[in-house]
Structure 1
Amino acid sequence: MITVLVTVENGTISEIEITSADGEDKAYLSMAEDIIPKIIEAQSADVDTVSGATFSSTGIRDTVSEALKQAEQ
């Protein structure tokens, strides 16, 4: 389970921080973190996963997507 803190300023994703990643392999998680700048650049969680760290990057992507949905409400 991955938990993130997504900072949205003036309707723009400005920062994504992983606050916990219980059970995640540190090596895969480290590679998966490469998805964060892609999400910020695209201003969307609809980006490709990181090859070699598919499950971890999918976890980050899905958690960011959920956080953005909650922010819209």
Structure 2
Amino acid sequence: MEWGYKELKQVFASLDYKRKLTLRDGPCGLMHPAAVLLWNVRCCLYGSQTSQYFTCEPPSLEQYLQL
């Protein structure tokens, strides 16, 4: 679980920038779910550190998005 947060913060650095995530400055409540969705799509396409460590294949993009 912690690896996912670490990787998410590395790729989407604005989620860890406290002055950027203040109320009434933007849709901070929507930024995290959108970043997680994009990160999961990336993991479906390229894999992740967690899937490599546990030697399990991530689902295909069609399975994840249930197309």
More strand by share: 1
More helix by share: 2
Say whether the fold is shared (TM-score over 0.5): no
- Whose radius of gyration is greater, 1 or 2? 2
TM range (shorter): 0.3 to 0.5
Higher relative contact order, chain-length normalized (CA < 8 Å, sep 6+): 1
